[in-house]
Amino acid sequence: MGKSILKITGMHCASCASSIEVSLKETKGIKSANINIATEKALIEYDSNIIDLGKVFEIIKSLGYSAVEDFGEENNSENKYLKLLKIKLGLSFVFALPLMYLAMAPMFGIYVPEFLTEKNNYIQFILATLVIVINFGIWSSGLKNIVRLRPNMDSLIFLGTFSAYVYSLLGMFIGMEESYFESAVFIILFISLGKFLETITKGKATAAVKKLAGLQSKDAIIEKNGEEISIRIENVKIGDIVIVKPGWKIPVDGIIMEGFAAIDEKAITGESIPVDKKVGDEIIGGTINKTGYIKFRATKIGKDTMLANIIKIVEEAINSKAPIQLLADTVSYYFVPAILAIAFIAAGVWLLFGYSFSFALAIFIAVLIIACPCALGLATPTAVIIGTGLAAERGILIKSGKALEIARKINYVVFDKTGTLTKGEPEVTDILEIDNAKFNKKEILKIAASAENYSEHPLAQAIVNEAKKEKISLIKVSNFEVLPGEGVKCEIDKKKIFVGKISSLKNSKEIEGVSVLENKGKTVIAIKVDSDVVGLIAISDTLREHSKDAVNSLHKNGVKVAMLTGDNKRVGDAIAEKLGIDRVLSEVMPSEKAKTVREIQDEGNVVAMVGDGINDAPALAQSDLGIAIGSGTDIAMETGDIVLIKNDVRDVAKAIKISSYTFRKIKQNLFWAFVYNIVGVPVAAGVLYPLTGILLNPMIAAAAMAFSSVSVVLNSLLMKTYK
């Protein structure tokens, strides 16, 4: 299954996006298509065995638009488009201002020279024509989409301004005094101004992604044959030795081979204090070396770097859709045809009531112009863009609009213990001899470490590390076997050895000292030789620095917290008591984690599962919201709906808060977008005229329409003040 982000040009409103989206979804081989009018990009998933991107481009082109694959590279196309809009807007004002003077001056008793008065209509015609020519793209787009039977916002503007222009042109030749040249011009002028402001504000909305892209270095200094050589970043190869001096940007991901440095990772992880890095530590491309001189071996380059993955995740998130967007999309798809029908019906009704053609025409134009599907189309994506950007700046990667929407509903968070609430770096704290056994502490550790040397479990590594610390030589074992959720077994000198959780033994409660250790929150490992338990090893995993703060933050937001652990109930309860956790799910086998999460869901809860992204994948997938913690590891990047780049569990509460804040903004935007159209269209149709004499001038309608979209985007931009 392929996934690509496409840059689409030629879209002018939400109905354009809906039209493309519907056509793509109807195409065999395309699994999903999400068009984001705010970024003018499409996120598509497709079966590459059935359809390729070339065919997708052809479909989009047949609809009157063009598309190219977006690789997240910086280009100047947006700046060029903005400059072009600026030039067109400036020229339009140059010709529109004298037209406004000619049309409006007599109304306000302002003097107009006689030679201009005599040729007033002809001068207005010339000035109006020049403005229309400058902005002919609106007419061209509107007409093309009418011909294709896929009318969009430009189609409404085209019909309204074309009607006003042609009516005025005919009136000029037959000597009518009424003219709508100024209406046609000012409608186009306000629409152009609105598009210009909208483009600026949309550009600000995507600032977070641009900021991330700007972190990418252009050059690198590598060491080759003892010399320092400057090369372009794209020429760095895996294995190259890269040199970074104080104040320099780290070009690619790697492992330090020489030196020591304090690395500023704020732009990637949100960590405000520089992180000390030494030989053997991993460093991230795009971060800054504040102090120290280092040499590192490049391990990831190009699209495989952590920064490139973060940019990709954020890009996909802002181009995905929150479920609430579906309502706006559905309305937008049918909106333009409905407005066309309302405009014709309204004009026809007023003609039937005996009003003049010019009166009905003004109604027709006002209805067409005031309608705005753009505000509806921009309401959700602009808020999602800012929301995901706010999260990314804090080291929280929200991978989709759907995840952003679900996060606010979470009322139960389940934490995996090891590696999430604890550091996942357990240490041996006690070694106990069994009175009737003939093994001392050193021998117990030697047997246990020899057996566990073949296991990758954190508890096993803690035992092996303790043996290394004591400089104990390990023994060769045979018939080694892992017992999932229990421990390991093997043979040493033809004796059967078991090293594993004390709870795996039938008589565990009878062994002296076990309860004392477990009540302290320690995990007890039994060492069994043949049928006898010869010793116990107690292991303690250090709690993360901010685990208690994370639980407290969730409680303040009314969210319950559970802890999932393979340890027995006494160990789980001891840790839960320290952290203030509501519920302990102990002695849970790895294969049972997803089932346990499902049981909590069956109680009517909306559940977020927080794990390290390595062995918690089934539980993360089962939960309503999977949150992977793991310092941005590759596996964590691929697992879960939200990725916490830092090992800071407080970010779980932050993610939920940002989600709730973003969703409030989405609801505000949608409310005003719907209200604007629900109120504006009937007023433009003249429903208030019989009672109050109020009739909406088409120019005022154009101004209102233009600024409705801008106001929605500006409301989203206010999110940047979030603390």
What domain range is 406 assigned to? 396-422+544-657
C-alpha–C-alpha distance, residues 261 and 274, integer Å: 9
Question: Are 597 and 473 in a shared domain?
Answer: no
pLDDT of amino acid 344: 93
Q: Please give the distance of CA 118 from its chain centroid, rounded to a whole number.
A: 60
Q: What is the DSSP letter of 624?
A: S
CATH number for the domain that contains residue 249: 2.70.150.10
Q: Is the pLDDT of residue 305 over 90?
A: no
pLDDT (average), residues 646-674:
89
* pLDDT band per the 50, 70, 90 thresholds, residue 207: low
Indicate whether 554 belongs to any domain. yes
C-alpha–C-alpha distance, residues 462 and 524, integer Å: 12
Q: Is the pLDDT of residue 240 over 90?
A: yes
Copy the structure tokens of residue 662: 């973003």
Please state, as a whole number, how many other Cβ atoms lie within 10 Å of the Cβ of residue 489: 18
Find the distance separating the first CA and the last CA of the chain, reported in whole Å.
39
Which of the listed ranges 15-24, 262-271, 594-603 does the model predict with the highest average pLDDT? 594-603
pLDDT (average), residues 476-486:
88
**Count of all residues that appear for the chain in the document:** 723
Contact indicator for 250, 286 with CB cutoff of 8 Å:
yes
pLDDT (average), residues 132-155:
85
Copy the structure tokens of residue 171: 């009136």
Question: Are 442 and 574 in a shared domain?
Answer: no
pLDDT of amino acid 446: 94
Average pLDDT score, the chain: 85
Question: Are 715 and 569 in a shared domain?
Answer: no
| Pairing state between β 583-585 and 560-564 | parallel
Per-position b or e across 67-96, b if 16+ CB within 10 A of its CB? beebeeeeeeebeeeeeebeebbeebeebb
Of 57, 77, 97, the residue that ends a domain is: 77
Indicate whether 116 belongs to any domain. yes
Q: Which residue has the higher pLDDT, 24 or 324?
A: 24
Copy the structure tokens of residue 43: 């996120």
Q: Which residue has the higher pLDDT, 612 or 146?
A: 146
pLDDT of amino acid 604: 94
Of 540, 572, 604, the residue that ends a domain is: 540
pLDDT (average), residues 481-498:
90
Question: Are 203 and 319 in a shared domain?
Answer: yes
Indicate whether 378 belongs to any domain. yes
Indicate whether 439 belongs to any domain. yes
pLDDT of amino acid 492: 92
Question: Are 445 and 520 in a shared domain?
Answer: yes
Could you report the per-residue pLDDT of 340-390, keeping only the tens digit for each? 999 999 999 999 999 998 899 889 988 888 887 777 777 888 888 888 888
pLDDT (average), residues 587-593:
81
Locate all alpha helices (DSSP H) within 353-438, ordered by sequence.
Answer: 357-370, 373-393, 401-407
261-264 β-sheet, strand order: 275-277, 261-264, 288-291
Indicate whether 214 belongs to any domain. no
Contact indicator for 237, 257 with CB cutoff of 8 Å:
no
Question: Are 201 and 102 in a shared domain?
Answer: yes
pLDDT of amino acid 181: 83
* pLDDT band per the 50, 70, 90 thresholds, residue 40: confident
* pLDDT band per the 50, 70, 90 thresholds, residue 330: confident
C-alpha–C-alpha distance, residues 296 and 282, integer Å: 9
pLDDT (average), residues 615-623:
82
Question: Are 379 and 336 in a shared domain?
Answer: yes
Distances, alpha carbon 234 to alpha carbons 186, 220, 244, 293, in Å: 50, 9, 17, 23
Q: Is the pLDDT of residue 13 over 80?
A: no
pLDDT of amino acid 562: 95
Locate all alpha helices (DSSP H) within 105-232, ordered by sequence.
Answer: 114-118, 120-134, 136-147, 153-174, 181-205, 207-214
Please state, as a whole number, how many other Cβ atoms lie within 10 Å of the Cβ of residue 227: 7
Contact indicator for 434, 413 with CB cutoff of 8 Å:
no
C-alpha–C-alpha distance, residues 45 and 33, integer Å: 7
Indicate whether 229 belongs to any domain. no
Of 77, 100, 122, the residue that ends a domain is: 77
Distances, alpha carbon 429 to alpha carbons 420, 447, 520, in Å: 21, 17, 11
Q: Is the pLDDT of residue 453 over 80?
A: yes
C-alpha–C-alpha distance, residues 628 and 635, integer Å: 9
User: Which among 545, 269, 584 has a CA at the least distance from the CA of 415?
Assistant: 584
C-alpha–C-alpha distance, residues 383 and 303, integer Å: 27
Does residue 644 come out as left (phi exceeding 0), alpha (psi in the -120 to 50 range) or beta?
beta
Indicate whether 222 belongs to any domain. no
DSSP, collapsed to helix, strand or coil, labels residue 186 as helix
Question: Are 323 and 376 in a shared domain?
Answer: yes
pTM for the structure as a whole? 0.72
Domain count, the chain: 5
DSSP, collapsed to helix, strand or coil, labels residue 321 as coil
Question: Are 672 and 640 in a shared domain?
Answer: no
pLDDT of amino acid 615: 67
Q: Which residue has the higher pLDDT, 379 or 413?
A: 413
pLDDT of amino acid 464: 95
Copy the structure tokens of residue 694: 């109020």
pLDDT of amino acid 130: 94
CATH number for the domain that contains residue 22: 3.30.70.100
Residue at 90: amino acid letter: G
Question: Are 200 and 321 in a shared domain?
Answer: yes
Contact indicator for 254, 299 with CB cutoff of 8 Å:
yes
Q: Show Cβ contacts of residue 32 under 8 Å, excluding neighbours closer than 6 positions.
A: 25, 43, 44, 45
Copy the structure tokens of residue 328: 């706006």
Copy the structure tokens of residue 62: 């047949």
* pLDDT band per the 50, 70, 90 thresholds, residue 566: confident
Active-site hit among 70, 264, 416, 541: 416
**Which residue has 């354009």 as its token pair?**
16
Q: Is the pLDDT of residue 206 over 70?
A: no
pLDDT (average), residues 286-296:
91
- Percent with pLDDT over 90 in the chain: 30
Indicate if 240 belongs to the active site.
Answer: no
Question: Are 416 and 563 in a shared domain?
Answer: yes
pLDDT of amino acid 216: 81
Lowest mean pLDDT among 81-85, 439-443, 534-538: 81-85
pLDDT of amino acid 457: 83
DSSP, collapsed to helix, strand or coil, labels residue 582 as coil
C-alpha–C-alpha distance, residues 232 and 302, integer Å: 12
Question: Are 250 and 356 in a shared domain?
Answer: no
Indicate whether 450 belongs to any domain. yes
User: Which among 401, 383, 377 has a CA at the least distance from the CA of 667?
Assistant: 383
